[in-house]
């Protein structure tokens, strides 16, 4: 068995040393690239997703004017509006209470029972104009409820005059003289009569 020359490395240490020498010799023949810091690929991906491109930049949203929503009507107001007829012109509450209790006199009364529409309209027009000329203020017009019995426990409500009298009072001939129209109190006929309040007569 031949002996190794003196000074030569022995065992595993000599092999490792030889590899280092060879790697160093190879490294001298290679030009190194410019060194750069390694980046975390996950952080780079998240940053790319958060940063919009030039075409994806959000446009500024203009400030829109704020509109306040109107307050909703109360339940009581809705009920009152649904029960008040469209033709009704409110009379002063204090005056109505005095009329109902008999503290305010009714200046004149007109009963239209049994009249046709033509006669009733003419009678109403003469009546209101005559009362306005005298200076009367509070009138009672009886129209009747128009309820007729057509059979056993069967009632039919027509009420033609009850429906037409408020229209005639709101017509162009009488409307300038009328200040208020309301359904009368039960003691004065209830749904079959009307309180008519005339405007104050102008003195020349």
Domain segments of the chain as ranges: 86-198
Domain 86-198 annotated CATH 3.50.50.60: no
Bridge partners of 157, per DSSP, are: 147
In sequence order, which residues have a C-beta less than 8 Å from that of residue 193 and are 6 or more positions away? 140, 141, 142, 143, 183, 184
- The tens digit of pLDDT for each residue in 56-78 reads 555 666 665 555 656 666 655 55
- pTM to 2 decimals? 0.54
pLDDT tens per residue across span 120-164: 999 999 999 999 999 999 999 999 886 655 555 555 556 788 889
Q: pLDDT tens digits, residue range 23-64?
A: 666 666 666 665 555 555 556 656 655 655 555 555 666 665
């Amino acid at each position: 068995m031949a002996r190794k020359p003196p000074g030569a490395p022995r065992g595993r240490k000599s092999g490792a040393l030889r590899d280092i020498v060879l790697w160093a010799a190879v490294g001298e023949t290679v030009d190194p690239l410019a060194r750069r810091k390694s980046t975390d690929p996950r952080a780079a991906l998240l940053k790319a997703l958060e940063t919009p491109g030039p075409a994806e930049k959000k446009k500024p949203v203009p400030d829109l004017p704020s509109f306040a929503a109107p307050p909703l009507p109360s339940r009581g107001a809705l009920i009152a509006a649904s029960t008040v007829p469209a033709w009704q012109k409110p009379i002063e509450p204090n005056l109505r209470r005095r009329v109902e209790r008999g503290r305010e006199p009714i200046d004149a009364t007109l009963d239209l029972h049994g009249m046709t529409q033509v006669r009733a309209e003419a009678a109403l027009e003469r009546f209101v104009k005559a009362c306005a000329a005298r200076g009367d203020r509070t009138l009672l017009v009886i129209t009747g409820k128009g309820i007729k019995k057509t059979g056993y426990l069967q009632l039919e409500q027509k009420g033609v005059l009850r429906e037409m009298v408020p229209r005639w009072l709101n017509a162009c001939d009488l409307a300038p003289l009328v200040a208020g129209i309301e359904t009368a109190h039960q003691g004065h006929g209830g749904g079959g009569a009307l309180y008519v309040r005339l405007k104050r007569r102008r003195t020349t």
